């Protein structure tokens, strides 16, 4: 294919404006990071781990502390740390990073918190203290079947929000539907 | 104070509209569905609290989890709106690109 190469140097403001227009026309704007399949898979894996914990709690709902195993939560913390580091390495990804912090707030006692250098990331609210899944799992207070059902719905919604945000980065034109937890 | 589902849902949608900005009309229907589900969860917890069928510990725990899920959904709305804005800008640039390409018959700018 024959193409013509053009230089606008020294050709005046009109030529410069045309040059700028041509350059703009050649650009694509990116306002948010791209879809990351590993993040999608990683969040789904955390959801699976949470579902296992909930099943254990359900079996000893009269005293959830009997179903508590710190290793379950350590594994989730490790997964979240890896995903957050991965998300942080990508430009224009603060919404996903913020969502991952919120997953930590929901699940972990003493969750990782932002260092305060980015005001867009959510600090740990005072109300979160004592109300993570990990803390509730250590408590002896009974969880009724209805409580567990509501908790499942809430956590499903939380994970779906994180996954829908990631899937939206595939540049669909609407909020994508996600599959329910396996 | 009683949990007013309509008021809470309205407040959630106002927050979502602020997050979505100009893209809100495209997102309203699906966001309303998401928030309706969450508002109903909040209403059920409050109703059980009022009826004394949930312990204080569980009510506090579930309400915090619920509020955190709402905040996370707002992040999603903001993200999807950002993707939509990006698509609008790039669609306009695509039109510009086509027009420039036609006008310059395939010149490459250096």
> Over 60: is that where the pLDDT of A167 sits?
yes
C-beta separation of A122 from B67 below 8 A: no
Residue with tokens 């207070």: A141
Q: Which of B27, B54, B68 to mutate to test the interface with A (most CBs of A within 10 A)?
A: B68
Does residue A91 sit at the B interface (CB-CB below 8 Å)?
no
The whole-angstrom distance between A56's CA and the closest CA on chain B is 17
Give me the residues of A, 16-35, that contact B with CB < 8 A.
19, 21-32
C-beta separation of A151 from A176 below 8 A: no
Flag the least confident range among A14-28, A107-121, B19-33: A14-28
ipTM of the complex: 0.84
Q: What is the 3-state secondary structure (H, E, C) of chain A?
A: CCCCEECCCCCCHHHHHHHHHHHHHCCCCCCCCCCCHHHHHHHHHHHHHHHHHHHHHHHCCCCHHHHCCHHHHHHHHHHHHHHHHHHHCCCCCHHHHHHHHHHHHHHCCCCCCCCCCCCCCCCCCHHHCCCCHHHHHHCCCCCCHHHHHHHHHHHHHHHHHHHHHHHHCCCCCCCCCCCCCC
Mean pLDDT, residues B11-19 taken together: 90
Task: Determine the residue of chain B that is closest to A108 in CA distance.
Answer: B65
Task: Determine the residue of chain A that is closest to B32 in CA distance.
Answer: A175
pTM confidence score: 0.84
The whole-angstrom distance between B100's CA and the closest CA on chain A is 7
Contact: A27, B93; criterion CB under 8 Å:
yes
What is the per-residue pLDDT across B32-89, written as a single tens digit (0 to 9) for each?
988 898 899 999 999 999 999 999 999 999 999 999 999 999 999 999 999 999 988 9
Q: Is A38 exposed, middle or buried (0-12, 13-18, 19+ CB in 10 A)?
A: exposed
Contact: B109, A23; criterion CB under 8 Å:
yes
- Output B86 or A182, whichever has higher pLDDT: B86
| Helix, coil or strand: residue B55 | coil
Name the residue among B62, B90, B96 with its Cβ closest to that of A154. Answer: B62
What is the per-residue pLDDT across A137-155, written as a single tens digit (0 to 9) for each?
999 999 999 999 999 999 9
| Per-residue confidence band for A1, with pLDDT thresholds at 50, 70 and 90 | very low
């Amino acid at each position: 294919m024959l193409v013509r190469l053009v230089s606008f140097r020294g050709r005046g403001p009109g030529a410069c404006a045309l040059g700028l227009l041509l350059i703009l026309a050649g650009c694509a704007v990116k306002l948010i990071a791209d879809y990351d399949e590993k993040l999608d898979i990683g969040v789904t894996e955390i959801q699976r781990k949470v579902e296992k914990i909930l099943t254990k709690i359900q079996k000893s709902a009269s005293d959830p502390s009997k179903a508590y195993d710190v290793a379950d939560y350590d594994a989730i913390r490790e997964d979240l740390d890896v995903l957050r580091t991965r998300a942080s390495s990508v430009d224009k990804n603060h919404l996903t990073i913020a969502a991952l912090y919120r997953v930590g707030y929901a699940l972990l006692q003493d969750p990782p918190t932002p260092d305060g250098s980015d005001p867009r990331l959510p600090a740990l609210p005072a109300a979160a203290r004592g109300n993570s899944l990990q803390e509730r799992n250590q408590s002896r207070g009974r969880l009724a079947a209805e409580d567990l059902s509501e908790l499942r719905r809430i956590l499903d919604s939380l994970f779906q929000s994180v996954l829908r945000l990631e899937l939206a980065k595939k540049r669909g034109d609407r909020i994508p539907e996600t599959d329910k937890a396996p | 104070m009683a949990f007013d589902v309509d008021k809470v849902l309205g407040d959630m949608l106002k927050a979502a509209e602020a997050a979505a900005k100009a893209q809100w009309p495209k997102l309203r229907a699906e966001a309303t569905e998401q928030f309706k589900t969450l508002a109903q969860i909040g209403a059920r917890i409050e109703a059980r609290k009022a009826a004394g069928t949930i312990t204080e510990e569980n009510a506090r725990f579930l309400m915090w989890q619920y509020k955190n899920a709402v905040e996370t959904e707002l992040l999603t709305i903001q993200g999807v709106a950002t993707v939509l804005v990006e698509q609008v800008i790039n669609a306009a640039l695509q039109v510009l690109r086509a027009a420039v390409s036609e006008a310059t018959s395939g010149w490459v700018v250096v």
